[in-house]
Amino acid sequence: MFEKPELKVGLLFLISFALVGYMSMKVAKGVGVFTAESKHSLVVDDASGIIENTAVKVAGVKVGVVERIELKGGKAILTLSVRKGLGLSKSTYAEFKSDGILGSKHIALGDTGTTTEKLKSGDQLSTVPSVDSMGDVMSEVGKVAKSLNEVAQAIKEATITGTTETPIGRIMNNIETLTADLAEVSTVNKDRISTIIERLEGISGTLDSVLGEGSKQKVNEAFDNAYDGLAKFDESLENVRSITEKIDSGEGTVGRLINDEETIDGINEVVDNLNNLLGGASRLRTSFDYHSEYLTSDGDIISFIGVKLQPGADRYYELALTQDPFGVDDTRTIKRTGTENDDFEEVITDKDKIRITALFAKNFYDFTFKGGLIQSTGGFGIDYTALNKKLRLSAEFFDFSDDANIRMFARFNVYNGLYFIGGYNSILNDNDAISSPFLGAGLYLNNDDLATLASFALRR
């Protein structure tokens, strides 16, 4: 019966099919046909991506599979079937790792090395948090997208409905209010802005005419006036020298006071107190400033003389006297008691009266802000220095009784205290004699210059 070839071939095929099937089932379980198994349990809160027959690996090599998954007490109980002889210890831990972006996972076994005690079959393995899977990443991306959606919704509500419930809404509302205020200011002061622009155009035109060939004579006259001013200053220095000689020889009241030791001790005490007030004599710098300005509209001259006290690099005090041909107006009320005539106001102009400037200034980088008295009226100003402090651009605002007196000018240091100055005086004044471009020159002496001049005068 078994001698027929067809029967022998069929019997051999059936035996081979049974062996292949058995071996395939054993391989799916992760161990070979002749390999002993060791079973261990694993308790986790989340077994997402883990199914029965999920591979168990050590160092990337498959050593077993997940044989069974059960749910007890809200936790997943995994039974792992792994090959015996792996040398697992009680410090062995299990970790879920992703196989790709589709969410499939495997269980990787590692060892912390804290103990060498062998792990027996049936013992429970510990776990460590697994690395984020693609699902976790997508969950985080979803949270970010939700936050972006909330921001976009806030911007939409702020720009369309005008709500002020959120910080973005309040910012948009403030911007809208600011633009509305700017529009209102520009509309209300449109005429004044136009006037200022026209004045600036007049300044440029006047400078062109002043610096042109036809104005050479006026420029020469301005320099002649400046030279006369310097000559007068030289006469003043001669007078100072004469006075100092008399004081040094003890003539007059001042000379006797200075040569008296008790008086000198009292003066030294006063100077020490003043030094403490102003920051110390070692830091106090004193400078003297004199210049004249030639008004091109009417040919008048304005003279300035002043002193600057600087106790620190970031601040100074300035005192100055100004004399011009326009004088100072004084308004007084005339009362007619016992008559039928009405009271009236009389304006008296004192052309010999001196205007006083007393300012405190504070430096911020290349800008200087100053305030106080400007030509006997309250005011403030701003300076900007450039070209290594050789050029100074200035604007002063004062006399706010009617229209503000705006004075803009530029000052350029030529050489060692000699400077030229030019600009526009009283831009908004309707009087053409006062509102005029001007050119001038001046002399600026600091501590070292004054010490040199005093030493020279004493030697003579």
298 and 435 fall within a common domain: yes
CB-based burial, 254-282: b 16+ in 10 Å, e otherwise: ebeeeeeeeeeeeeeeeeeeeeeeeeeee
Of 8 and 68, the structure prediction assigns the larger pLDDT to 68
Q: Is residue 276 in a domain? A: no
Tens digits of residue pLDDT in 283-298 = 678 888 998 888 888 7
pLDDT at 281: 47
- Say if residues 72 and 92 touch (Cβ distance below 8 Å): no
87 and 151 fall within a common domain: no
Show the domain range for 57.
36-129
- Say if residues 317 and 360 touch (Cβ distance below 8 Å): yes
CB-based burial, 191-227: b 16+ in 10 Å, e otherwise: eeeeeeeebeeebeebbeebeeeebeeeeeebeebbe
48 and 145 fall within a common domain: no
Kindly state the greatest CA–CA separation across the chain. 167
- Say if residues 348 and 368 touch (Cβ distance below 8 Å): no
How many structural domains comprise the chain?
4
Q: Is residue 239 in a domain? A: yes
- First and final C-alpha spacing in the chain: 155
77 and 104 fall within a common domain: yes
Q: Please provide the average confidence, as pLDDT, over all residues in the chain.
A: 78
Tens digits of residue pLDDT in 181-219 = 888 887 888 888 888 888 888 887 777 766 666 566 666
Q: Is residue 173 in a domain? A: yes
Taking the C-alpha atoms of residue 347 and residue 344, their distance in angstroms, rounded to an integer, is 10
pLDDT at 33: 44
Residue 280 has pLDDT above 60, yes or no: no
Residue 131 has pLDDT above 50, yes or no: no
333 and 365 fall within a common domain: yes
Of 30 and 78, the structure prediction assigns the larger pLDDT to 78
Overall pTM > 0.75: no
Q: Decide: helix, strand or coil at residue 49.
A: coil
pLDDT-based confidence at 337, cuts 50/70/90? low
pLDDT-based confidence at 408, cuts 50/70/90? very high
pLDDT at 274: 67
- In 3D space, the residue among 89, 44, 98 whose CA is nearest the CA of residue 71 turns out to be 44
Of 91 and 384, the structure prediction assigns the larger pLDDT to 384
Residues 78-99 have a mean pLDDT of: 84
pLDDT at 361: 94
202 token code pair:
């007049």
Of 144 and 369, the structure prediction assigns the larger pLDDT to 369
325 and 346 fall within a common domain: yes
- Say if residues 157 and 169 touch (Cβ distance below 8 Å): yes
243 and 334 fall within a common domain: yes
Residues 302-313 have a mean pLDDT of: 87
pLDDT at 326: 72
Residue 150 has pLDDT above 70, yes or no: yes
Angle between helices 216-248 and 447-459 (to 10 degrees): 60
368 and 241 fall within a common domain: yes
Residue 362 has pLDDT above 90, yes or no: yes
- In 3D space, the residue among 345, 281, 278, 343 whose CA is nearest the CA of residue 317 turns out to be 278
pLDDT at 210: 63
